[in-house]
Amino acid sequence: MPDPPKPKYKWRQTWPDAPKHFSGYDGSRHIASIHWHHLGWWNWYMCWNWAKNASRWKRPNGQADSARAAALEAEACYEAILRCEWPGMVPEDLQCMLDNEEWMRTRQ
């Protein structure tokens, strides 16, 4: 049986006192978070979706049976966003997010 796919990006525990909450990073960019839901599943959600029209997108979050599956789903969402292929996206959305990221970087 082949090894299951491994996450591409770096995942680490978000807070020391939250052992079932993790954040994913592409370099210094915080892209997503996953956490255990007490009813038995893992939630995932994007943290990199600041487009002014993101409200028209398919919701960039979901549920999975394991932490690994949640991380992989979050990464697939992130990569679809980078390709402007997430449902509801238009190219201006990606440019808006990149511009916002640059503005945040330069204001510090």
**Tens digits of residue pLDDT in 54-102:** 888 999 999 999 999 999 999 999 999 999 999 999 989 999 999 988 9
Kind plus residue range of the DSSP H or E element containing 51: none
Rg value, the chain, Cα: 15
State pTM to two decimals. Answer: 0.90
3 lies in a domain? no
1 lies in a domain? no
Helices (H), the chain: 67-82, 91-106
Which residues pair with residue 36 across a beta bridge? 42
Q: By three-state DSSP, how is residue 18 classified?
A: strand
In which domain, by residue range, is 33 found? 11-106
Number of domains in the chain: 1
- Percentage of residues in the chain having pLDDT higher than 90: 76
The DSSP symbol for 89 reads -
57 lies in a domain? yes
5 lies in a domain? no
- Note whether 86 and 58 are within 8 A (CB): yes
